Amino acid sequence: MSDTIAAISTPLAPAGLGVIRISGPDALQAAGRVFCCAGNRTLDQLAGYTAAYGHMAGSRGEIDDGVALVFRAPHSYTGEDTVELSCHGGVEILKQVLRALLENGCRPAGPGEFTKRAFLNGKLSLTQAEAVMDSIRADGEAALRSANIVRRGGVYKEISGYKEQLVQAAAMLAAYIDFPEEGLDELDGGDCLNLLDNVKNGLGALIGRYDAGAVLRNGIDCVIAGKPNVGKSTIMNLLAGYDRSIVTDEAGTTRDVVEQTVSLDGITLRLSDTAGIRDAGSRAEQLGVQRALAHMGAAQLVLAVIDGSRPLDDNDRKMLEHLGDTPRIVVVNKTDLQPDPDLTLIGAYGKPVCICAKTGEGGDRLRQAILAACGAGRLDPDAVCLSNERQLHAARQAYDAVCAAVADCAAGQTWDAVGILIEDAIGHLLELTGESVSETVVNRVFEQFCVGK
């Protein structure tokens, strides 16, 4: 990392402020050739954590005025000398400042390269680095809280604790196996087994929280389905809190999928209001029904809406039977009308929730049912959770190795065999934290980042 990189770190769109970040051994010098401090100072004379007002200029003249913030290595985000230039957030301004920096010794930063340098310079573990992107992408309070726990080192600390217990167990075995001449007493397998059981239980619990953590981070894809004119769009508007979908008395109003993201108690719900499912006549409506069925098949949760003022018909049954094993809530709408629905018959397809979307009656019941279906009772935004499939895969491999070591201990296998499994588990935990990971994996992680972070 002998070169100096630069990138626009704020969205490239008109805004009040924009930031260009520079990092590397020549960051102060390169930035100093573009940014001129007010007064008689130069950037390389400034101490770390110091800001200076001035103006920025390129080969074609002055670009803008603004502020330069200096960070000295190793006390910076990347661990290198770093400068952040803040200017007005015009797109052309930002482009010209970046172009001037590239003309003065910088090269364009790749995706996530600032955070990658932070990882390589020991400022962040790999799990913390991955959580940086999770924080940026968080679109709900629960997702942000969960990401921040990992970014502050929650996963790294927990995994490091398990690793230390495994290292202790491995050391006990190694002392007994490698130094028989020291006259050590027969190894007490109970101490080793206790350590392995602690790690097994801890990793098992961490792995078990993954799905709940994924709901916090990613939210739920929820499809509102049913035959025409059962109130799907009204339910969409009820959950969204405003008129997102068109509502009329005419059946078949919705021909395409209408999408809206809402937050329920901090959990992101990505709603899709779909076309009414029936034997459609027109080609446009047929395509709408096909899209509705496709969205139902890909959904994590379906709100299967039934008109409570009418008996079940073939279109209702077709929709409900199409769901298969897909998690669903059967929503009985229009309960203000008569006759009352046959809940026993409807209940064969799932526990019904009765509402009147038009008046809002039962809306709280529906929201609570959705939260229950998402497993809200199992979701703890303050719990340490694995962030992604890479971490989950490494944790599972470590867990499997520990389970095998426990089984070998119970079966009276040789301590050599147990020791090999423990070393294998340690290796997988080191992969999880990034302490021992291939360059290919590191590159794959940071390819998913945005440029400038």
Task: Give me the CATH code for the 5-124 domain, please.
Answer: 3.30.1360.120
The residue among 127, 120, 164, 126 whose CA lies nearest residue 146 is 127
Chain-centre distance for alpha carbon 16? 28
Instruction: Give the integer Cα–Cα distance in Å for 106 and 98.
Output: 9
**What residues contact residue 399 under an 8 Å CB cut-off, 6+ apart?**
200, 203, 204, 207, 425
pLDDT at 180: 53
Q: Are 119 and 129 in contact (CB under 8 A)?
A: yes
β partners of residue 52 = 68
Q: Please compute the mean of the pLDDT values over residues 136-151 and round it to a whole number.
A: 86
The mean-pLDDT minimum among 174-183, 221-230, 258-267 falls in: 174-183
CATH of 221-373, one of 3.20.10.10, 3.40.50.280, 3.40.50.300, 3.30.310.40: 3.40.50.300
Tokens 């201990």, located at residue: 409
CB 86 within 8 A of CB 123: no
pLDDT value, residue 246: 47
Judge whether 204 and 162 are in contact, CB under 8 Å: no
What tens digit of pLDDT does each residue of 18-42 get?
999 999 999 999 999 999 999 888 9
Q: Strands 258-264 and 267-273, how do they pair?
A: antiparallel
Please write the tens of the pLDDT for every residue from 305-361. 988 888 888 888 888 888 888 888 999 998 877 666 666 677 777 788 999 988 999
Query: What type of residue is 158?
Result: E
Q: Is 402 helix (H, G, I), strand (E, B) or coil?
A: helix
Burial of residue 387 (CB within 10 Å: 0-12, 13-18, 19+) is buried
Question: Is the distance from CB of 140 to CB of 407 less than 8 angstroms?
Answer: no
Max CA-CA distance within the chain?
90
Q: Is the pLDDT of residue 250 over 70?
A: no
Our CA dihedral for 229, 276, 258, 223, rounded to 10 degrees, sits at: 110
Strand order in the sheet with 258-264: 258-264, 267-273, 220-225, 301-307, 328-333, 352-354
Q: What is the pLDDT of residue 386?
A: 93
- Residues 6+ positions from 92 with CB-CB distance below 8 Å: none
pLDDT value at residue 73: 96
Residues recorded for the chain: 453
Residues of the chain with pLDDT > 90, as a percent, come to 46
What pLDDT does residue 255 have? 47
pLDDT at position 66 over 70: yes
Cα–Cα distance for residue pair 275/255, rounded to 1 Å? 5
Task: Assess contact for 437 and 431: CB atoms under 8 A.
Answer: yes
- Classify domain 131-211+385-434 at the CATH superfamily level: tRNA modification GTPase MnmE domain 2 (1.20.120.430)
Tell me which residue has tokens 């935990």. 429
DSSP notation for 369-423: HHHHHTTGGG--TTS----SHHHHHHHHHHHHHHHHHHHHHHHT--HHHHHHHHH
Please give the share of the chain, as a percent, with pLDDT higher than 70.
88
Q: Tell whether the model's pLDDT for residue 285 goes beyond 90.
A: no
Nearest to 63 by CA among 105, 98, 28: 98
DSSP code at position 111? B
In the chain, where are the structural domains located?
A: 5-124, 131-211+385-434, 221-373
Predicted pLDDT at 50:
96
Average pLDDT, the chain: 86
- pLDDT, tens digit (0-9, with 9 covering 90-100), for 386-432: 999 999 999 999 999 999 999 988 887 788 888 899 999 999 999 99
